[in-house]
Amino acid sequence: MAPDPTQSQELKRLAMLAMRDRGLLPEFSPRALQEANAFSRASIETGGAIKDLRALLWSSIDNDDSRDLDQLEVAQPLEGGATQILVAIADVDHLVKIGSAIDAHARANTTSVYTAAQIFPMLPEKLSTDLTSLAQDQERMSVVFEMRFAPDGTVQGSDIYRAIVVNRAKLAYRSVAAWLDGTGPAPALLASTPGLDQQLRLQDEVAQRLRQRRLAHGALDFETLQDRAVFDDGLLVDLRPDPKNRAQNLIEDLMIAANGVSARYLQQKGLPAIRRVLGIPKRWDRIVALARGSGDQLPAAPDAPALNAFLSRRRQADPARFPDLSLSVIKLLGSGEYAVEKPGVEPDGHFGLAVRDYTHSTAPNRRFPDLLTQRLIKAALLGRPGPYGIADLQLLATHCTEQEDNAAKVERQVRKSAAAMLLSSHLGDQFDAIVTGASDKGTWVRINHPAAEGRVVKGVEGLDVGDHVRVRLVHTDMARGYIDFAVQ
């Protein structure tokens, strides 16, 4: 008799089933793999308008195990306290052409899917983790966003161009964050690369100014806990919260700025584009009720600066429970979506980021909308018509939004299967929980130790998002990802 599969293998099987059930392709077609295998190296273009920026001290900061590197950064102080930041984005379009089998797969899925079992990349790994990745010590083609910031964080000017770059240091969020916070030593590569410490300090200073400026305009400052599955020889041993850190904020703030530059560039060129938007929350009344329950007040009409001020007060008053409040508000705000910006039409903004001009353009190895935007920008740089018409962009915007939602559901379903696997030996145990969803479809709660979300099957009366309750685990089903609780 064949041995039983390990837990990690079983989760992978469930993940592939979940992908197919949600209309996502878990595997590449033979033709797509054949196209990928035909690439022997990352080709480089020279001359013309392509700049040679290989001599600059570029670096990347990403997850410890990330190999699909989309961005590099470098900074330079200017006169009067101003700073120039360059963000290089992997030129994925350089190899992935419209109409190819690889492009068809990317267009179908529209995103990489990150499950607790495995990663399902949008592009074949030979590209995303090698030939189109901004890997350390490798010459790569890129699209560079050049930004000049005043001392107060306002954008003094910007430019976009193509360039050859080399990543001098592949760094990781946790170790860089500990170094920036003064709680850990400089990572070995940072310490051994002359001038890189000043580089990162300068980038961090600019990023913090950008963040403070957005917060002053009403950007919402949340604290959420991402779950990380931990395996030991194929056995799931924990689901650990992975809180956001200072290095992640650094990259996020620079990417938000770069995405604003790309949105404004296409707008100035009079070209249609795909924007990332988040409208006014439909459940503002419940957010107001959450504030009232904390002894605070919010205006009757949606107001981002007022909401962020409330969040700031709660972070200071009750830091231990602030992640729970953040999760509740995020659920009530709803999801962002992709929308087409037509030339001459005032674009919708992003309520959560407090920015009007925003698109996705900084992760073309992982998200199809970013690859679309890259192609539009490169066409504009060359003075050519855009490769997509408005009708096609509208269809793609809707499709990308739908597939992003499907990918999130797959990730959540596999995470629930992992949690059900971990909790199967805890039937009857009681947990403190927070209500994360309440609708006609059901009521859900989240527990923190281990990090897991499940459905309330008994005692749902009167519960709403943000309520804190005591629950008892009554049932688990790993195959379906079911975790059922009863309110005590």
pLDDT along the chain (488 residues), means of 10: 60 94 97 95 84 98 92 96 97 97 98 93 96 97 97 94 97 97 96 96 96 84 70 65 86 96 93 88 90 92 90 86 82 88 78 82 97 97 91 96 96 90 92 88 87 91 90 94 94
Apex CA 159: angle with CA 156 and CA 162, to 5°? 155
223 contacts 323 by C-beta, under 8 angstroms = yes
Q: So what's the pLDDT on residue 197? A: 96
3-state secondary structure at position 133: coil
3-state secondary structure at position 152: coil
Q: So what's the pLDDT on residue 375? A: 97
Per the DSSP assignment, residues forming a β-bridge with 242 are 226
Match 């980021």 to its residue by tokens: 353
Strands (E), 118-176: 119-120, 139-149, 155-172
Report which of 280, 274, 397, 281 is spatially closest to residue 347, judged by C-alpha positions: 274
8-state DSSP, 164? E
Q: So what's the pLDDT on residue 2? A: 38
137 contacts 167 by C-beta, under 8 angstroms = yes
* Rounded Cα distance, 377 and 356, in Å: 19
* Rounded Cα distance, 123 and 363, in Å: 12
Q: So what's the pLDDT on residue 150? A: 95
Report which of 118, 148, 123, 4 is spatially closest to residue 68, judged by C-alpha positions: 123
- The single-letter code of the amino acid at 255 is M
371 contacts 93 by C-beta, under 8 angstroms = yes
